[in-house]
Structure 1
């Protein structure tokens, strides 16, 4: 005997199915609308992150905190507007006013928040009409100490169109930094080094950009390349600071590998009265006789008689019988940087082109490594085609020295040290490439300062 279907049971199943469908739609809607919210949140995060970074770079511009705050605010708002398109995925976004806070030590803290609303579709079944998304970002612009070293040797002036471009771009580079909070020391070199403007050694911050601009505009270009003396002075400027900043950088700009160095030299017997005279001995650009001694604290001035019995451009070995064991131009007992060494280039005591040239390169690389070991970043900029042409007694590339100084990952294997600060090297093949190179260095310095 057949049993008739229960109409009441069919109705219960229909209700359960309907309720289940509503719940299922709610779950699906939650997943879809939540996914939409995540995409909006990611875009919002990226826009506020980039905005505070842009503000951190713009805050360096201006002659006072009011101008700097205005520049930072404008940069943040412009970056946010450009990177969060109106109506993105149907949302409406509102950016808050950026906060720019200066402390007494020169650190600037920049914050920005933003909100976005987006209408929901499936989640309306659960009673929601809009989804609210928010994001906030903060960047801290660290204090900066920077030594800016500029090569003013003769090779920089071979092309008469080059010096004006060098001066203009060096000045423009300084405009990237905060004259009220950053500290900058400026120096230039040839046979010797001139410190144009040293660091402020008291507790005050900032630098005189107008003064440095005037100094750079007066640069003339002549003399040999005593790079290690310039770097020693940059490093010494850093060491003198009693209250160093959280970020320390040496920016070294040159158009060639070093071929000279300074030290205290022992003279031949007939010039014994001049023993321990500190000066620069220079090698030529190719194999030949050494010249010197030149003043290590001036650009191209030679010491006068009675310390010589040969013409200045003659053979220095006639009155300098051997090279010193260590670089001791500033301290006669200093043994930090060896001259006579087997590494990385072999240098003996003989006064030869090979030894003077190799010692010049060894000293520069060793001083840069010592600076990085003290948590100082080294950024280098090379100008001209000669840097990528083999030269010197070992047919080395000049840019390899600059890469070693900066500790770039593509430097020679013997140079790169992942435990030390990694800097940047940029090669400007022509004077026209200087502007983007200086811009790259400034951007990278400002990036690591945040």
Structure 2
């Protein structure tokens, strides 16, 4: 009888142990299941707040003052968060905080927090009713110095193109912060005109004046790209003495360079070393050499003593210029940074003879050398090429024009002699038609904003 009673007591003990174990097991299973839901909600919450502050970083550039910019950034962040964290996701309820926008010495810091609560199922056995998760994200938009260079040569003066260039260049500027970003605007043909320079170290830029300047652009003259890049570097390196954390040159052109500037020795003694000018080779093989033109104007021929009024159009520059200088010295007669001749690479210029081949090769060599120096300075170079001629062989060496633009930008698909992964790697976009300009300008703006975060 005692044995039976003991057996009953053992059976009762086992039942209690099993019951307790089941409760513990259910708690463990509940913890695993409900925690899994919590991790899924946490991941979605993190992604939504991360994306929201990035969207705010792009939207903060819109507006004419910090009040408008703050409102635009907060609106963009809220809309992005709502789109990426659906109402009732996995049964949760969410509360998103108002995004914080802090302006400080040109840098914009954007922050956002959010909390989500989800009812638990299995974990109720352990006394829990709700699982709470939270997320916080922050984005810091770097300060930006941007030199915007626009080709206004005569080859762009075809039906519909000037209007497309003007409208899309204006739209491009709308991507940047008028109170914190610094932008300089210039256009070029035979020479370069700096329409709106940097205002020293003062932050912000005058978008209204730039818009008016762009809308007044005329299109004429040859392609002196090197002079444009020289002015862009000069604005970034000289006008600004306290550079931003991100520096960019955006260079738009429809052709490979065929002109360059310097102090040229001439057979007119009164003209020698008087002022620098531009000599142009044209695009046709063995083309006509024209010049000299002003380096500070889109298209303005020299007057006496170099030429009499109206004479340049019918005169070959090789009858005036006696030799090419050994160094590019358009802004400083004694400057010796960029050699003109003799050079062997990337295009051989063995002597200073004033020939179509030499002038054309020098034009291309200088452009690539100046762009490379900009990258050595730590500046990103972004290029936008327009038109079918860029994809066709031209010049004395039958080069493809867009290869020069790729070399300038240091893109991975540029010529092997050009690509240097140790330098800032830029972007090249090709627009075959006027309709392609909008997505290209948008791509460049997006890439700049991406690397500014």
Cα pair 1:406 1:424 within 8 Å, conserved: yes
Which residue pairs with 2:269 in the alignment?
272
Q: Which position in structure 1 is the counterpart of 2:253?
A: 254
CA distance in 1 between counterparts of 2:370 and 2:34 reads 59
C-alpha contact (below 8 Å) 1:289/1:352 kept by paired residues: no
Q: Structure 1: how far apart are the matches of 2:25 and 2:328?
A: 80
Question: Is 1:289–1:314's contact at 8 Å kept on the other side of the alignment?
Answer: no
Superposed CA RMSD in Å reads 1.7
Residue number in structure 1 paired with 2:87: 86
CA contact (8 A) 2:291 2:312 kept: no
Q: CA deviation at 1:111?
A: 0.6
Deviations 1:314-362 (A, max 9, x none): 4322232322211111112212111121111112222222221121111
- Please give the secondary structure, in 2, of the residue aligned with 1:55: helix
Q: Which moved more, 1:314-323 or 1:175-184?
A: 314-323
Structure 2: how far apart are the matches of 1:373 and 1:33? Answer: 54
SS in 1 for 2:421: coil
TM-fit CA distance, 1:292: 1.1
Equivalent in the alignment of 2:243: 244
Q: How many residues align?
A: 443
Deviations 1:13-38 (A, max 9, x none): 33223322222222222222222211
Per the normalisation by structure 1, the TM-score is 0.94
Alpha-carbon distance in 2 for matches of 1:404, 1:128: 63
Aligned residue number for residue 167 of structure 1: 166
CA distance in 2, matches of 1:36, 1:350: 77
Aligned to 2:205: 207
SS at match of 2:446: helix
Aligned pairs for 1:14-413 within 5 A: 14-103=15-104, 105-157=105-157, 159-201=158-200, 203-240=201-238, 241-268=240-267, 271-276=268-273, 277-287=275-285, 288-307=287-306, 312-340=313-341, 341-348=343-350, 349-413=352-416
**Contact 1:263–1:324 (8 Å) recurs in 2:** yes
1:287-330 residue CA offsets vs partner (Å, 9 max, x unmatched): 12311111111111122344359854443222323222111111
1:230-257 CA-to-partner distances (Å, cap 9, x unmatched) read: 1100100011212221211111111111
Q: Which moves more between the two structures, 376-385 or 225-234?
A: 376-385
Q: Secondary structure at the match of 2:367?
A: helix
Is contact 1:186-1:197 (8 Å) kept? Answer: yes
20-29 vs 228-237, which moves further: 20-29
Distance across 2 between alignment mates of 1:79 and 1:291: 56
- The answer to whether the 8 A contact 1:321-1:351 is kept is yes
Measured after TM superposition, the shift of residue 437 of structure 1 is 1.2
Q: Is the 8 A contact 1:96 1:114 kept in 2?
A: yes
Please say if residues 110 and 140 of structure 1, whose CA atoms lie closer than 8 Å, have aligned partners that are also in contact.
yes
CA distance in 2, matches of 1:221, 1:238: 26
Give, in angstroms, the shift of residue 378 of structure 1: 1.1
CA distance in 2, matches of 1:86, 1:280: 64
Contact 1:292–1:313 (Cα < 8 Å) also in 2: no
| TM-score, length-scaled by structure 2 | 0.94
State which drifts further: 296-305 or 312-321.
312-321
Structure 2 CA distance, aligned partners of 1:96 and 1:274? 69
Match of 1:421 in 2: 424
Asked if structure 1 preserves the Cα contact closer than 8 Å seen for 2:189 and 2:220, the reply is yes
Distance across 2 between alignment mates of 1:178 and 1:396: 38
Within 5 Å, which residues of 2 pair with 1:432-443?
432-443=435-446
**Aligned residues of 2:301 and 2:312 also touching (Cα < 8 A):** no
* Native 8 Å contact 2:153 2:219 kept in 1: yes
User: Which SS does the other structure have where 1:272 is aligned?
Assistant: coil
**Higher mean C-alpha deviation, range 212-221 or range 399-408:** 399-408
Provide structure 1 residue ranges, at least 5 long, that are not aligned to the other structure.
none
